[in-house]
Structure 1
Amino acid sequence: MDKPTGSTVSPQEALIYAMVTLSAVDRQMTDRELRKIGDVVNTLPIFGGFDTDRLVAVAEACATITREEDGLHAVLATIATSLPKKLHETAYALAVEVAAADLHVEQEELRFLELLRDVLDVDSLTAAAIERGARARYRTL
């Protein structure tokens, strides 16, 4: 997939776009996924200084883009153009974290992760390691 051109948002907003889009792509944003997004934004150092009161507005802005014609690709383009290379793996890891949060990954979520991996140029070995780590963290008895 060619790297698309898109509008830009802050890197923190782009990370939120990745998580929100993953959660919404199957048309079911579960409570676990939404809690995970909130937990990530509230606890990870990358979101230091981010005004958490803006989380809902950022999520709504992302949702607005996804409803446009070719919205999914527009969101992917925005994520890709807004993140420095050093945060590409972070974006992928956060999306995987949200996917794993409800202990069931839908086909649409897998497809979004594939598209995100491609647009961010996350290599397959790194992606596999990120996915394996999430499986280990979310394994149940």
Structure 2
Amino acid sequence: MAEHDTETPFSDLVRTRRAELGLSLRALAERCIDPETGATPITKGWIERLEKGEPVLTPRLSELRAMAAGLQLPLRRLQDEAAVQFLGMQRQAEWSGDSTVRAVVARMEELTPEERADLAQMAELYAAQQVARRETSKGS
């Protein structure tokens, strides 16, 4: 069983995302199908214990793939949060106090190089627009 301190990013992500999707514990478990094997390795009880902060076995890759499918999230994001919670690993980079930046980065891996370049350009334009807006509001 996994021992963890106070940081529970994997549990928090699962709980939050399940709520966003409006899924019951059972419905989420039924959606957690490993796309590579077709197996359904996640049980309602495991999700319930995870969300309550009770001890659970550290998820294996096949279970993380199934959770990614069920939660409609990138596998990389689940792997990162599980590594922090269950293995005590440090995040590769802590760009944000919340999970928004990690979520965007995880999604970036799904894009083609051209799509990533387009998104980076949009981010630069948006950031410049926001800086200009703040500067304008300061002068008012």
User: If the length of structure 1 is used for normalisation, what is the TM-score?
Assistant: 0.33
Q: Whose Rg is larger? A: 2
